[in-house]
Structure 1
């Protein structure tokens, strides 16, 4: 398909979403989205999403305990915690510090904590992935980041911060949706949805090739798998998951 076709279809989609574009122009959409729309949407979607990703998360986190400190303690830092949907997969007794750029997730997060008494909740930090200044260097055993690198402003900066806060031998765990093959119809539709999707869903980018950022980051070891998770009614299907060791 030609660039002209992509631009035309983007314009058609933008017309359908014109009220949101107008609210964005007026500076109203972003604060409304972060306080009301996105937390509401994410909570409603989480049930469907978790059914699709559960087996992959079970596989991803099965060896988390291997990265416990020599004392046997396991300290986790989760970037972009949202509503805490990963808690159920964490080992009993681990200590979890949560971060998110959006403070409006805290009420839903507390509900998730009450359902997961096997973990020790250490606290919530309002912080962007690229700026974890509140977390001391080398202070955690594992950093968790699922469905977050699509929306951070700087993927490389977030990975750099993850490396900084990890102790030597600690691990960065990830599960992220990524760009489809450039020759595929999936990528064609990702390009069409990209501008409107990013606006509506708080900066979520559909076409990031996150595996390249991970390969170029200064981890000593990288275990990365390309997988497919079809999320209904979305242009999201290709994903990468795995962990990287400092």
Structure 2
């Protein structure tokens, strides 16, 4: 089976070779970064419709981590601000995303959700949140973001750095299917193409393992089967306390 998977992966690599070349010379990344925000804006509407109950249940816990000055949230990989509607009233939100083309859509979402105060938008990757001061936020949020990170451990290290003592990291992330399933096999086969059309997403990532070995004092996580496309239906939901 391993040989079959290798051969099929190689075939997919050959099929996407033109895209690989465009990526190498910098053309694909430039074009995709302009188009992706608009595609993602449409997709998040569908995701919110199907995952709204999960998001509401999770984010209803956010006020528990507010400090005396209120609740300050850092959203890493904010995209178009799809999570704003689920955030509590009067919270302050700092948003980061490595794609600057999300800013206009993000500001539009902020204007529609007047209960949220959008403090600023920073062009930054999760691996380098240096514009955000250490121990400065009450909560960090990531939803379907860690799958695209180049280094998940580095992102989690940065999240721990910016969180105040007792602050929490809230997450909803898709993970690889069980190794004994056909879906796990398919995820590996199409991964060479998926990375280009999924904004660098890794279908085969075991994000839960990364969370378990990070230096959080408490980890509250559960596995769910989301009502989304099969490739990303296996997800983990929860929060981790610094």
CA RMSD, 1 decimal: 1.5
CA displacement, residues 177-201 of structure 1 (integer Å, 9 cap, x when unaligned): 0011000111011111111101222
Aligned pairs, how many? Answer: 242
1:10 corresponds to which residue? 9
User: SS of the counterpart of 1:235?
Assistant: helix
2:121 corresponds to which residue? 124
Shift of 1:206: 0.6
CA displacement, residues 62-92 of structure 1 (integer Å, 9 cap, x when unaligned): 11100010x1510110000000000011110
1:28 corresponds to which residue? 27
1:240 aligns with 2:240: no
CA displacement, residues 212-245 of structure 1 (integer Å, 9 cap, x when unaligned): 111111111110001111423x511110010001
User: SS of the counterpart of 2:133?
Assistant: coil
In the alignment, structure 1 segments of 5+ residues that lack a partner are none
Shift of 1:20: 2.4
Shift of 1:22: 3.8
Shift of 1:10: 2.8
1:169 aligns with 2:169: no
Listed as ranges, the matches of 1:197-236 within 5 Å are 197-232=194-229, 235-236=231-232
Shift of 1:153: 1.1
Shift of 1:4: 2.7
- Cα distance in 1 between the residues matched to 2:150 and 2:75: 17
TM-score relative to the length of structure 2: 0.95
Shift of 1:12: 4.3
TM-score relative to the length of structure 1: 0.93
* Pairing partner for 1:99 from 70, 75, 96: 96
- Cα distance in 1 between the residues matched to 2:83 and 2:125: 19
